[in-house]
Amino acid sequence: MPVELIDDPARWDGFIDESADGTLFHKWEFLRILEKYTGYQLFRYGVYRGEDLISVIPVFYTKSIGLKLIYSPPPTSSVNIPYLGFATSPLFGRLGGFEREECWSQIVKEFRDEVMKISPNYMTIGLVPGIRDVRPFLRNDCDADLMYTYIIDLKPPLISIWEGIDRYCRKDIRAAAKYPLVMRRSYDAYKFVELMREGLKKLGGTFYDRQSPAYIEEILRAFPDNVKLFFLYDGDALIGANLVCGFKKRCIGWMGNTTTDNGFNANDYMLWEIIKAAKQEGYESLENAGADEKRLNFAKTKFNPDLVPCFNITKKDIIYKTAKYANRKLEKLVRF
């Protein structure tokens, strides 16, 4: 199975559009924006089965303090992308069990062999939630960290989704609806980032402090049909914001949900409005990421989502481990 770099945007995007694992984050232009705002070098790999392009994976490469690092996606602190990694073709999905497993093993092995030519000290791949067979990675000396995400099924009738919501949350949403609240689409990434920084300032340096608002602005401009920023107003006052990313039948509540103190729960009201809008637009699921953050679970489970496992693959060599260890020790010394 040869691995080759793909330099044809139309071919790449056509593949992502057809792939069951292809996300908006995989699209050619999205990757270009990630490359621009991280400064990392982007490689778009394709893995072939005979003449057929069977899988693709975008990879970001950088060097830091002499260490070679491979990411897919780049670190959350710089781009806030939940996952990226492999996308497979419809042909892969049609293969029988044995052929599919053999093919998946080969894809992983060939990719690993290719990427090892760079001799990375560290590699991390965040797999999309549908990919659960991590055996080939384990057989190739990688570690697989179990992660989770929350996904709300939008296929049932709206009334069933409403009834699934925690009753106190429903009460809060009904109470909020009595206020003069309006949800409006916005393109003001700077205002959004400012709101998020303010809302999350207790957590210290977050993605919103590290990345320029121009990153979000460029994504909003590049994908106006997919990425939508909504502001929630109470009269004239901006009280909440949510950045929603929709692609194919899946929608992700990507960023937003700052806490507000207005005597009512603006976050829950806004999420319910987004659920209604997403369902109306034909999306079948709404992902509400953050299941691995214990502090967020109580709020995120109000909407009765499914808990869905996903994996983060890592490979670290001894140099990386030693450097990390030394760095931790050094930080301790500096703090002391």
Site residues, other proteins (CB under 8 A)? 96-102, 132-135, 138-139, 144, 146, 148, 150, 164, 166, 291-292, 294, 297-298, 301-302, 304-307, 309
Q: Which is nearer to other proteins, 156 or 263 (CB)?
A: 156
Q: Which is nearer to other proteins, 162 or 233 (CB)?
A: 162
CB of 134 to other proteins, least distance (A): 7
CB of 249 to other proteins, least distance (A): 21
Q: Which is nearer to other proteins, 139 or 185 (CB)?
A: 139
CB of 160 to other proteins, least distance (A): 12
Q: Which is nearer to other proteins, 128 or 193 (CB)?
A: 128
CB of 83 to other proteins, least distance (A): 17
Q: Which is nearer to other proteins, 134 or 278 (CB)?
A: 134
CB of 314 to other proteins, least distance (A): 14
| CB-CB neighbours of 271 under 10 Å | 26
Instruction: Give the 3-state DSSP-derived string for the chain, with helices as H, strands as E and coil as C.
Output: CCEEECCCHHHHHHHHHHCCCCCHHHCHHHHHHHHHHHCCEEEEEEEEECCEEEEEEEEEEEEECCEEEEEECCCHHHHCCCCCCCEECHHHHHCCHHHHHHHHHHHHHHHHHHHHHHCCCEEEEECCCCCCCCHHHHHCCCEEEEEEEEEEECCCCHHHHHHHCCHHHHHHHHHHCCCCEEEEEECCHHHHHHHHHHHCHHHCCCHHHHCCHHHHHHHHHHCCCCEEEEEEEECCEEEEEEEEEEECCEEEEEEECCCCCCCCCHHHHHHHHHHHHHHHCCCCEEECCCCCCHHHHHHHHHHCCEEEEEEEEEEECHHHHHHHHHHHHHHHHHHC
Q: Which is nearer to other proteins, 187 or 325 (CB)?
A: 325
CB of 320 to other proteins, least distance (A): 20
CB of 232 to other proteins, least distance (A): 23
Q: Which is nearer to other proteins, 130 or 282 (CB)?
A: 130
Token pair for residue 320?
């990386």
Nearby residues of 298 by Cβ (< 8 Å), 6 or more positions away: none
Q: Which is nearer to other proteins, 63 or 132 (CB)?
A: 132
Tell the burial category of 7 from Cβ atoms under 10 Å away from its Cβ (0-12, 13-18, 19+): exposed
Q: Which is nearer to other proteins, 5 or 138 (CB)?
A: 138
Instruction: Round to whole Å and give the CA distance between 47 and 54.
Output: 6
CB of 97 to other proteins, least distance (A): 4
Token pair for residue 269?
């009201």
The residue type found at 301 is T
CB of 96 to other proteins, least distance (A): 5
